[in-house]
Homo-oligomer: A and B are copies of this chain.
Amino acid sequence: MNVMFLGTGAGMPAKSRNVTSIALQLLEERKAVWLFDCGEATQHQILHTSIKPRRIEKIFITHMHGDHIYGLPGLLGSRSFQGGETLLTIYGPKGIKEFVEKTLLLSYTHIKYPLEIIEVADGIAFEDSQFRVAVKKLEHGVPCLGYRVVEKDTPGTLQVDKLRALDVPPGPIYQKLKQGNTVKLEDGRELNGEDFLGPHQEGRIVTILGDTRICEQSVELALNADLLIHEATFGHADDQLAFDYFHSTTSQAAKIALEANVKQLVITHISSRYQGEDSESLLNEAREIFINTDLANDFEKYEVHKQK
């Protein structure tokens, strides 16, 4: 599981940062890539990575501003053209369905795979045996969502070698032991399943937020996350601008990370007013409050490791 930033800028593309898109790569977990937002030229950025459009299984849209959605119609068309045949599901706020359907219709684009578009607000956007994606409304002037991706815990595997060493014959009791039950063997021995299970593995949590002012919902979405991706459109000094334009500063993003007790914060959605060396001072502003912070650049990848 890793996160690759395909675009880390705000508002408009610049030479150094494209507009927003983030790829959560779940190749080992489910041979899939989930995109979060899809600004213009996201498919162009993808050309410079190893991501295959046909592997994109889900696209989560945070809000309807152009710098987060204008790359969607092109990517959907190219995914079909490049042999994508499997279901693609798009999650997003009200309006996303009409946007996708209208743009494809008016451009005579016939995609060959099933496309599902689900408009979400607060609650659970998606859940299966492996992942649950919770969603909450943030504060951005227009409806804007944050997503909390929760990998489900995996129980420890049954240590078969250990059972064989004790001459426990394979059979239905293996299943009972695996579920952690205590069983009585025919020879009278009693075995506790817990003693024969490898370590239980906690699922990872990745929280990816849309554009927002500093707000309580962000803390809720990010609670104990392994990785929090939070916007920082402005530097610490520009907190009035951040408030006026419904954005956050570096320090505000760091405060959320601290309060939510996350392991790592990556700030992104950097305004083009900050160039080159400014990045370092932006990053330092955040690190003063939350030390384990990075500032994202296009094409940077962050691994999210399982806990030992």
Contact surface of A with B, Cβ cutoff 8 Å: 11-15, 18, 40-41, 43-44, 47-48, 64-67, 69-71, 73-74, 77-78, 81-82, 95, 98-99, 102-103, 106-109, 142
Contacts and interface: CB of A to CB of B under 8 A. Distances in A.
A109 B41 CA distance: 18
Instruction: Quickly give the copy total for this chain.
Output: 2
List the 10 shortest-distance A-B pairs measured between CB atoms, nearest first.
Answer: A41-B41, A40-B74, A66-B107, A99-B106, A70-B74, A95-B106, A12-B78, A102-B102, A13-B44, A66-B77
A11 B12 CA distance: 24
Contacts of A47: 13-15
Contacts of A64: 106-108
A106 B95 CA distance: 6
Nearest to A105: B95
A81 B41 contact: no
A249 B18 CA distance: 35
A74 B81 contact: no
A134 B70 CA distance: 31
A108 B142 contact: yes
Given A15-B48, A40-B40, A44-B18, A107 B74 contact: no
Contacts of A67: 74
Given A70-B74, A102-B103, 16 more contacts: A12-B77, A12-B81, A13-B43, A40-B40, A40-B44, A40-B74, A41-B41, A41-B44, A64-B107, A65-B108, A66-B73, A66-B74, A66-B103, A70-B103, A95-B106, A98-B102
